[in-house]
Amino acid sequence: MAALRVPVAGDAASGQAIFESKGACLTCHSVAGHGGNLGPDLGRIGVTRSVKSLRLALVDPDSELDKQYFTVVVTTKADQTIRGVALNEDDLSIQIRDSEGNPRSFLKEGLKSVSREQRSLMPSYAYRLTEAEIGDVVDYLRTLREPSPRIAMRTRQPHRAYSNVAFLDRIGRDAEERPDTLIGALEIPIGATVAEIGSGAGYYTWRLGRAVGPSGKVFAVDVQQAMLDRTRETITKHQLSNIELVLGEESDPHLPSGALELVFIAHAYHEFSNPESIIAAVNQSLKPAGRLVVIEFAEGHAFGPQDKAERMTEEQIRAEIEPAGFDLDRVLDIAPIEHCLIFRSRAEGRPQL
Amino acid sequence: MRIRCVLASAAVLAALGWNLSGQGLPVSYERLLKAADEPGNWLMHSHTYNSWRFSSLNQITTANVKNLHMKWLFQGRHIEKFETTPLVVNGVMYLTRPENAIYALDAATGRQMWMYEYRNPPRTFNCCGKVNRGLAILGNTLFMNTLDMHVVAVDARSGHEIWKTQIYDYNEAGGYAAPGAPLVVKDKLIVGMAGGERGVSGFLDAYDTKTGQRLWRFHTIPQPGEPNVGTWAGDSWKTGGVTTWNNGSYDPETNTLFWGTSNPWPDYNDDFRAGDNLYSCSVLALDPDTGKLKWFYQFTPHDLHDWDSTQIPILLDTQFRGENRKALAWANRNGFYYLLDRTTGKFLTAKAFVKQTWAKGFDDNGRPEVIPGNEPTPEGNDRVWPGVDGGANWMSHSYSPLTRLLYVFAREEHRTFSKNAVPHPTTEVTANSAAEPTTVAQANAGAYDPAIGGAITRAVGAPEESWGKVIAIDPGTGDIKWEHRVLTPPWGGVMATAGNLVFGGTLEGMIFALNATTGERLWTFSSNGPVFASPISYTANGKQLVSIPAGDLIVTFGLD
**Cβ–Cβ of B114/A103 closer than 8 Å?**
yes
Q: Which residue of B has its CA nearest to A90?
A: B111
- Among B24, B111, B155, the residue with its CB nearest the CB of A105 is B111
- Among B104, B162, B164, the residue with its CB nearest the CB of A103 is B104
Q: Classify A165 as helix, strand or coil.
A: helix
- Among B112, B157, B163, the residue with its CB nearest the CB of A102 is B157
Interface test with A, best of B106, B538, B545 (most A CBs within 10 A): B106
Q: How far is CA B498 from CA A347, B9, B59, in A?
A: 71, 8, 9
Interface test with B, best of A29, A104, A105, A111 (most B CBs within 10 A): A105
Nearest to B558 by CA among B81, B18, B20: B20
**Given B148, B251, B267, B306, the catalytic residue:** B306
* Dist. CA B535–CA B512, nearest whole Å: 10
What residues of chain A lie within 8 A of the CB of B92, using their CB?
103, 105
Interface test with B, best of A87, A91, A111 (most B CBs within 10 A): A87
- The greatest distance separating any two alpha carbons of chain A, rounded to the nearest whole angstrom, comes to 73
Q: How far is CA B364 from CA B192, B275, B350, B369, in A?
A: 31, 20, 11, 11
Q: CATH no. for residue A135?
A: 1.10.760.10
Q: What is the pLDDT along chain A (353 residues), one digit of tens a residue?
A: 333 333 444 588 999 999 999 999 999 998 887 888 888 889 888 887 888 889 999 999 998 887 788 899 999 999 999 999 999 999 999 999 998 888 899 999 999 999 998 888 899 999 999 999 999 999 999 888 876 544 555 667 676 667 677 788 888 889 889 999 999 999 999 999 999 999 999 999 999 999 999 999 999 999 999 999 999 999 999 999 999 999 999 889 999 999 999 999 999 999 898 888 899 999 999 999 999 999 999 876 767 676 777 888 888 899 889 888 898 999 998 888 899 999 999 865 454 44
The answer on A180 and A276 residing in a single domain is: yes
Let me know if residue A89 belongs to a domain: yes
Long-range contacts of B436-442 (CB under 8 A, 24+ apart): B438/B378, B439/B378, B439/B379, B439/B380, B441/B378, B441/B379, B441/B380, B441/B416, B442/B380, B442/B418
Q: Is the pLDDT of residue B442 over 50?
A: no
Q: Which residue of B has its CA nearest to A94?
A: B111
Let me know if residue A274 belongs to a domain: yes
The answer on A236 and A282 residing in a single domain is: yes
Instruction: Give the model confidence (pLDDT) of A215-241 as tens digits.
Output: 999 999 999 999 999 999 999 999 999
For residue B463, whether the previous peptide bond is cis, meaning omega lies within 30 degrees of 0, is no
The answer on A286 and A201 residing in a single domain is: yes
What residues of chain A lie within 8 A of the CB of B541, using their CB?
107
Mean pLDDT of B177-189: 98
Shortest Cα distance, chain A CAs vs residue B160, angstroms: 6
* Dist. CA A318–CA A295, nearest whole Å: 12
- What pLDDT is recorded for position A10? 59
Q: Are A177 and A335 in contact (CB under 8 A)?
A: yes
Q: Classify A322 as helix, strand or coil.
A: helix
Other beta carbons within 10 angstroms of residue B547's beta carbon come to 27
Shortest Cα distance, chain B CAs vs residue A274, angstroms: 25
- Residues pairing with A293 in the sheet: A264, A342
Output the DSSP codes for A86-138.
Answer: EEEE-SSEEEEEETTS-EEEEEGGGEEEEEEESS-SSPP-TTTS-HHHHHHHH
Of residues A106 and B2, which shows the higher confidence score? Answer: A106
- What pLDDT is recorded for position B432? 37
Domain count, chain A: 3
- Among A30, A88, A101, the residue with its CB nearest the CB of B111 is A88
Q: Are B535 and B549 in contact (CB under 8 A)?
A: no
Let me know if residue A159 belongs to a domain: no
The answer on A240 and A91 residing in a single domain is: no
The answer on A135 and A48 residing in a single domain is: yes
**Cβ–Cβ of A102/B113 closer than 8 Å?**
no
Mean pLDDT of B349-376: 97
Could you tell me how far CA B58 lies from the centroid of its own chain? 25
- Among B119, B157, B161, the residue with its CB nearest the CB of A103 is B157
Instruction: Give the model confidence (pLDDT) of B211-269 as tens digits.
Output: 999 999 999 999 999 999 999 999 999 999 999 999 999 999 999 999 999 999 999 99
The answer on A33 and A113 residing in a single domain is: no
Q: Picking from B5-9, B120-124, B422-426, which range would have the lowest pLDDT averaged per residue?
A: B5-9
The answer on A324 and A179 residing in a single domain is: yes
List the Cα angle A8/A9/A14 in 5-degree steps: 110
Can you give the residue range of the structural domain that contains A110? 71-117
Q: Are B471 and B514 in contact (CB under 8 A)?
A: no
The answer on A248 and A335 residing in a single domain is: yes
Task: Report which DSSP code applies to B194.
Answer: B
pTM for this prediction: 0.78
The answer on A230 and A314 residing in a single domain is: yes
The answer on A170 and A89 residing in a single domain is: no
- What pLDDT is recorded for position A46? 85
- Among B109, B158, B163, the residue with its CB nearest the CB of A37 is B158
Domain count, chain B: 1
What residues of chain B lie within 8 A of the CB of A87, using their CB?
112-114
- What pLDDT is recorded for position B88? 98
* Dist. CA B250–CA B190, nearest whole Å: 11
Shortest Cα distance, chain B CAs vs residue A116, angstroms: 18
**Cβ–Cβ of A87/B24 closer than 8 Å?**
no
Q: Classify B223 as helix, strand or coil.
A: coil
Shortest Cα distance, chain A CAs vs residue B41, angstroms: 15
Let me know if residue A208 belongs to a domain: yes
Q: Picking from A311-315, A348-352, B14-18, B313-317, which range would have the lowest pLDDT averaged per residue?
A: B14-18
Instruction: Give the model confidence (pLDDT) of B263-294 as tens digits.
Output: 999 999 998 899 999 999 999 999 999 999 99
Shortest Cα distance, chain A CAs vs residue B122, angstroms: 7
Mean pLDDT of B314-331: 97
Can you give the residue range of the structural domain that contains B117? 2-558
What residues of chain B lie within 8 A of the CB of A150, using their CB?
119, 121
Task: Report which DSSP code applies to A324.
Answer: G
Instruction: Give the model confidence (pLDDT) of B380-416 as tens digits.
Output: 898 999 999 999 999 999 999 999 999 999 999 988 8
Nearest to A253 by CA among A230, A269, A232: A269
- What pLDDT is recorded for position B50? 98
Interface test with B, best of A88, A96, A97, A154 (most B CBs within 10 A): A88
Shortest Cα distance, chain A CAs vs residue B159, angstroms: 9
Q: Cβ contacts of residue A98 below 8 Å, gap of 6+?
A: A82, A83, A84, A104
What residues of chain B lie within 8 A of the CB of A103, using their CB?
92, 104, 113-114, 157
- Residue B306 annotated in active site: yes
Q: CATH no. for residue B208?
A: 2.140.10.10
**Cβ–Cβ of A93/B104 closer than 8 Å?**
no
Q: Are A335 and A301 in contact (CB under 8 A)?
A: no
Q: How many CB pairs under 8 A join A and B?
A: 61
The answer on A135 and A169 residing in a single domain is: no
**Cβ–Cβ of A37/B157 closer than 8 Å?**
yes
| Average pLDDT value for chain B | 91
Instruction: Give the model confidence (pLDDT) of B132-153 as tens digits.
Output: 999 999 999 999 999 999 999 9
Interface test with B, best of A28, A90, A95, A106 (most B CBs within 10 A): A95
Mean pLDDT of B450-467: 66
Chain A positions with Cβ closer than 8 Å to B: 30, 33, 37, 41, 87-90, 92-93, 95, 97, 101-103, 105, 107, 148-150, 152
What residues of chain B lie within 8 A of the CB of A88, using their CB?
106, 111-113
Q: CATH no. for residue A304?
A: 3.40.50.150
Shortest Cα distance, chain B CAs vs residue A104, angstroms: 8
Q: Which residue of A has its CA nearest to B26?
A: A102
Of residues A136 and B435, which shows the higher confidence score? Answer: A136
The answer on A335 and A249 residing in a single domain is: yes
- Among B113, B121, B541, the residue with its CB nearest the CB of A103 is B113
Q: Is the pLDDT of residue B439 over 60?
A: no
Q: CATH no. for residue A76?
A: 2.30.30.100
**Cβ–Cβ of A105/B158 closer than 8 Å?**
no
* Dist. CA B222–CA B231, nearest whole Å: 9
Q: Is the pLDDT of residue B318 over 90?
A: yes
Shortest Cα distance, chain A CAs vs residue B113, angstroms: 5
Mean pLDDT of B76-104: 96
Output the DSSP codes for B300-367.
Answer: STT-SS-----SPPEEEEEEETTEEEEEEEEE-TTSEEEEEETTT--EEEEEESS---SEEEE-TT--
Q: Cβ contacts of residue B211 below 8 Å, gap of 6+?
A: B163
Let me know if residue A3 belongs to a domain: no
